[in-house]
Amino acid sequence: MQYNPGWNSSSMNLLHVRAVGPRDSLHYVWSSIGAPAVLLVATQSPSSALRVNWTQLLSPSPAGAIWIDPPDSVAYSTAVVFTKLFEFSEAKPSGELFYPTYDLSEFSWDSLNHTLNHTALTAELSGVPATDPGGGFSNGSLAFRVTAYEASGRAGRLPSLLHTADSSQLEFVLAGVAPRGNSSRFALEVATVEEAGAVRRLRSERSIDDEYTPTIFEVLSLVAESQNGSSTLGFLQWKETAYGSRSPRREDGIQCRAQGLQAANWTLPVSSIVQAYFGESLGSTCTVSALNVSFGGEEGQVYQERRYLSWSVLLGFGQPPEDTFSPLVISITAVALGTPLAMLLLGSCVVLLAQRRRYSEYEPIN
């Protein structure tokens, strides 16, 4: 993990996470320069390196300021940008009432160098609006918590997402922000950037394995596939739940919904690392898609009461991890199905033995 490589000031935030394999390497570049974003690059060289021209990156024309060396080692690259936070309420009978939008590109962000943990491979990016006329953020903040992984496993906190060494987890946290309505709900706008030859699709999968996230049976994956669908290049994956507590429990769950993936017919807000890497292709050959992830529903009052919301999403390369039946679930299923069968077999044996014993006590009648 490198903080602001090649730059000695902490006035800007750029975190480079590099994972090295025997024949390849993966690069995650997190930044709050402009709208908060992450650049994901997979290369076919274990010695590939991130290069940053800081003078150009901080200029009005940052195209070409970020690149991977050697350039021909890049196998796949994409970006995810967190653009806006919406607040709305269910105003019946007129429908939904939207309050002025929080544009994340206009936030003021703390230095993540203070939260960088090289041992746990974690960092936190926290910010508030540069101007906040309504005072909603006077006692609160919005944060993105990043966790990188060295091996496969499962997160210890709910929703206990399954991860691999090719993935990182992002936790979106809204803490202490005062809602502007009595029944306010929030939605986070997430945009993705794909180069020519790749397309994003939203998948929904249901599972009966309910051991790690009780009552949550649906997993959503925003996958990047090649145009012919022959391979999966990258993904975002999350479970259909958020939580209203710093130490989440089952009863703290908040409903989470993805409101459809659409081609973005608007220009991306200022996000320097995306413009710096993709350059002129961002407005021509690249495909920009976006979706809104909303939090609330029947459990919408949870945030009103606790003023806390956390949502976890996994980002990575290749196929998203798939939950399989755990030993506990297999054991429970075996007991549930095997016990009646064992009792049936045992009962049949008892009946046969009883019949044989009864007839053996009498002599046959001529």
pLDDT recorded at residue 354: 75
Residue 207: closest CA among 251, 239, 235:
239
Q: What is the pLDDT of residues 212-238, one digit of tens each?
A: 777 788 899 999 999 877 788 999 999
Instruction: Work out the number of other CB atoms within 10 angstroms of the CB of residue 164.
Output: 16
Q: What is d(CA 106, CA 127) in angstroms, rounded to the nearest whole number?
A: 10
- What is the pLDDT averaged over residues 8-25? 94
Q: What is the pLDDT of residues 313-333, one digit of tens each?
A: 999 999 998 876 666 666 766
- What is the pLDDT averaged over residues 150-170? 93
Q: What is the pLDDT of residues 237-278, one digit of tens each?
A: 999 999 999 999 888 889 899 988 998 866 777 678 999 999
Instruction: Work out the number of other CB atoms within 10 angstroms of the CB of residue 264.
Output: 18
Vertex 103, ends 100 and 104: CA angle to 5°? 145
119 pLDDT higher than 80: yes
Q: What is d(CA 269, CA 104) in angstroms, rounded to the nearest whole number?
A: 9
Whether residue 133 has a cis bond before it, omega within 30° of 0: no
Task: Report residue 343's pLDDT band, with 50, 70 and 90 as the boundaries.
Answer: confident
Residue 326: closest CA among 169, 164, 208, 152:
208
User: What residue ranges do the domains of the chain occupy?
Assistant: 2-317, 328-365
Residue 30: closest CA among 139, 136, 116, 155:
116
Percent of the chain at pLDDT > 70 equals 90
Return the amino acid letter for 43: T
Q: Which residues, listed in sequence order, are joined to residue 108 by a DSSP beta bridge?
A: 128
Question: How far, in Å, are 219, 220, 257 from residue 204 at the CA level?
Answer: 6, 5, 11
Q: Which residues, listed in sequence order, are joined to residue 219 by a DSSP beta bridge?
A: 205, 239
Decide: 163 and 321 in contact? Cβ < 8 Å: yes
How would you classify the pairing of strands 141-148 and 253-258? Answer: unpaired
Compute and round to an integer the Cα radius of gyration of the chain: 26
Return the amino acid letter for 67: W
Name all contacts of 324-332 with Cβ < 8 Å and 24+ positions apart. 324/209, 325/209, 326/209, 326/211, 326/212, 328/211, 329/209, 329/211
pLDDT recorded at residue 71: 95
Between 329 and 73, name the one with better pLDDT: 73
Decide: 85 and 179 in contact? Cβ < 8 Å: no
